[in-house]
Chains A and B, each alone.
Chain A
């Protein structure tokens, strides 16, 4: 891995239930627009049998985007969500002048094309082998969205898919970062995506009820950013939104007598991310939390962050994006990164105080409503079953400082 290669973000797009563009999302954030809408149904499974009584936030996909794509009627929804987000800043024409073999794609998704997967199984159960549509078999492999995106955009560099639950987005981003740092490609389209589906909804509902968790609100979304070698970005005078400075990943294997606690692991991972970025924690101006309403990971994260803040003199802005827009699973890490790089106004964060240690609330509680501030942001993704990823980004147009 080369220290000489810096990785910057030169493009971004999102598709959320808020609206069809990033600017709308950034505008809508402080307004706390409600997201509830009806859940996508699955043929053959009655909704009233699933026990789900609340809807997901669902995206509206701009259909016109797909009119000139061959075979678009067989495209899965994740691909459509991703392409809708990408097309806000990048088309095939934009990269025609570049070496497509040196551009990669890295996609994070918790459940990928789960709806097509279930439809395929249902079709097999109902109509048998001969009733299966062969055109839909490729849709049930988890790397389908990343591969379809490559086919649509004619991008032939390394193509990755990662499915690490709520960490999928940040893990796809760090994998893309590594592809550039290791000189495998010069640029990577990094996407995070999640489609709504009855499976994930019933899964969350039943798993979380089983675990006595209840307040997670799953939302469909896609977020895409373009990572690029800084030198290449500067050469083509690209807009630079910020730099990816470093990261760390860990896993909490569960309680054992000699194991550290989950909060200690999260704390260690955050510090390791700052080490990787070659900065001190005091240089971190804002923290984008992973908290989403799940009791154990939320408590662990807030305890970790509480300890880190208590050991530091400087106050920081804390942002809990998922409490505003819901849990977008595979997309969440990308959306958090985009918001951290764009530094929009963030409204008062609700529901913190119940989870925060008392002494932490006394000391920092009044600082919870804030704008994102400072040069560096720490972004956390914590999966419900133990994965922890911490990313450090440096926000701002770096062309000014470099020039």
Chain B
């Protein structure tokens, strides 16, 4: 059968990004988020949502000025007023993305069984579980209705209910790489014609239990997140949500949608090594990247920029640098690498989706955001991390890494949309 411009070289339906929504520690809406990144805005601040006195650090990247009511109509407000912070983040970001994609009218008339939701998360509605357990351990019984707000599948369901969608609806809790899983799985559903449009992304809120967990394994930086810096001391816990609208290219063109970028391919792997430590031999992370290039049918030499997982922990940044060198050889030194976690913290389930939004803007706006707080070069991390200032760049292909507890590795390739395949 003759291939059309709507199919990739393997005959699969091409998948494009037509809308983005972000609720983040450095601003809401993808445009504000992007401007903050390019300007090197630091989202870290003293935690206000819980008491940090027991901890060594009191800094995190919380979402500020979030008013759920701003992002929904009265009906949604009433329906989700008791929902957890994660659900509210996700609904707000999805609303922004749907609006950005100008999908509203189309959703009213489309076959809603062909539109679905896949979200990633690390902890889900951890604040609600925390509240339930406090009640069970204390003097009172929790409200019976609160239980339904904790279950993880409630997150994508909230979004699907909000838009009355009937397509596949899933939550992929593969921790800090889960956003890439959600984007990849949504992409496959469209490629394989099991869906026409997918709302995908990730979400996580901050809670004291998350802060305590990361602190207890000595992963939290005292003040600044300094990815790839010699004196890096760890991550800053972040929160938020990023949502992307994925559509078949054919559908997007038919409804004259603005196309931000194309999903070229993705790869998954597992270290099978340790629950929290990355494999120093970088076999797993390397395999995920290779799988992404195979999926995209592209050679590694095509990459123009990398959005690193770049958490700021000594082990992650060292092994990620090693993996990039293994993948690109000497060319690794020529590819600009940004670590947006230096600004937004580690937003866990939201992280990979925020990377994807960053990638779309790099491709369309011609800048790569900086890795801020970079002061001292590390001999083991000696690549170009775009220190402290954004840089002009002409990019056609961006690699976005996301790794997770359990050694769940992902690599996402996002490319500039061109009518004919590059």
A positions within 8 Å CB-CB of B = 1, 44-45, 49-51, 100-101, 104-105, 110-112, 117-118, 120-122, 124-126, 128-130, 132, 134, 137-138, 140-144, 146-148, 150-151, 153-165, 171, 175, 178, 181-182, 184, 198-199, 202-203, 206-207, 209-210, 248-254, 256, 259-260, 265, 268, 383, 385-387
Q: How far is the CA of A196 from the CA of B105 in the complex (A)?
A: 45
* Known contacts A251-B169, A253-B164; A120/B209 CB under 8 A: yes
Q: Using a Cβ cutoff of 8 Å, how many contacts connect chains A and B?
A: 236
Contact B406 A45 (CB under 8 A): no
> Given A137-B213, A251-B160, do A202 and B136 touch, yes or no (CB 8 Å)?
yes
Are A385 and B157 closer than 8 Å at their CB atoms?
yes
User: Nearest Cβ in chain B — how far from A7, in angstroms?
Assistant: 14
Cβ-neighbour of B191 out of A1, A146, A151, A175 (below 8 A): A1
B175 to A120, Cβ gap below 8 A? no
Residue contact B152 to A141, C-beta cutoff 8 Å: no
The complex places the Cα of A140 from the Cα of B209 at a distance, in Å, of: 10
Assuming A153-B272, A184-B291, what are 13 further A-B pairs, CB within 8 angstroms?
A45-B137, A100-B272, A105-B270, A121-B129, A132-B216, A134-B216, A137-B217, A147-B270, A155-B270, A160-B174, A253-B161, A254-B161, A268-B113
Chain A minimum-CB-distance residue to B151: A165
By a CB distance below 8 angstroms, the chain A residues around B169 are 164, 249-251, 386-387
Any A CB within 8 A of the CB of B258:
no
User: Shortest CB–CB separation between residue A102 and chain B, in angstroms?
Assistant: 10
Of A144, A157, A181, which is within 8 A of B270 by CB?
A157
Contact A125 B168 (CB under 8 A): no
B237-245, B273-281, B313-321, B394-402: which lies at the interface: B273-281
Among the stretches B33-41, B139-147, B350-358, B370-378, the one at the interface with A is B139-147
Q: What A residues does B271 contact at CB under 8 A?
A: 150, 156
> Can you sample 10 A-B contacts with CB below 8 Å?
A1-B188, A122-B133, A130-B54, A137-B216, A206-B142, A209-B144, A210-B144, A210-B145, A253-B112, A253-B160
Residues of the B chain whose Cβ atoms lie less than 8 Å from the Cβ of A160: 172, 174, 181, 268
The answer to whether A385 touches B141, judged by C-beta atoms less than 8 angstroms apart, is: no
Question: Given A155-B270, A161-B172, A164-B171, are A143 and B406 neighbors across the interface (CB < 8 Å)?
Answer: yes
The smallest beta-carbon distance between B136 and chain A, in angstroms, is: 5
Partner of A44, one of B137, B175, B185: B137
Contacting pair A159 B137 (CB below 8 A): no
A148 in complex: contacting residue of B124, B163, B268, B275, CB < 8 Å: B275
A12 to B194, CA, bound (A): 28
CB distance from A74 to the nearest CB of B (A): 9
Is A252 within 8 A of B406, CB to CB? no
* Cβ–Cβ < 8 Å partners of A202 in chain B: 136, 147
Q: A143-B406, A207-B144 are in contact. Are A163 and B213 (CB under 8 A)?
A: no
In the complex, A112→B151 CA distance in Å?
11
Of chain B, the residue at the smallest CB distance from A251 is B169
Which residue from A132, A265, A385 sits with its C-beta under 8 Å from B153?
A385
Report the Cα distance A136→B196, complex, angstroms: 41
Shortest beta-carbon contacts, A-B, top 5: A147-B406, A142-B173, A158-B268, A206-B144, A159-B270
Which chain B residue shows the least CB distance to A151?
A: B272
**Are B174 and A385 within 8 A (Cβ)?**
no
- How many whole Å from B84's CB to the nearest CB in chain A? 14
Contacting residue for A129 out of B54, B132, B192, B274, CB 8 A: B54
Please indicate the chain A residues that have their CB under 8 angstroms from the CB of B208 in the complex: 124
B209 pairs with A156, CB closer than 8 A: no
Tell me if B148 counts as interface (CB < 8 A to partner A). Answer: yes
Q: Which residue of chain A lies nearest to B150 when distances are taken between CB atoms in the complex?
A: A203
A110 and B270 within 8 A (CB)? no
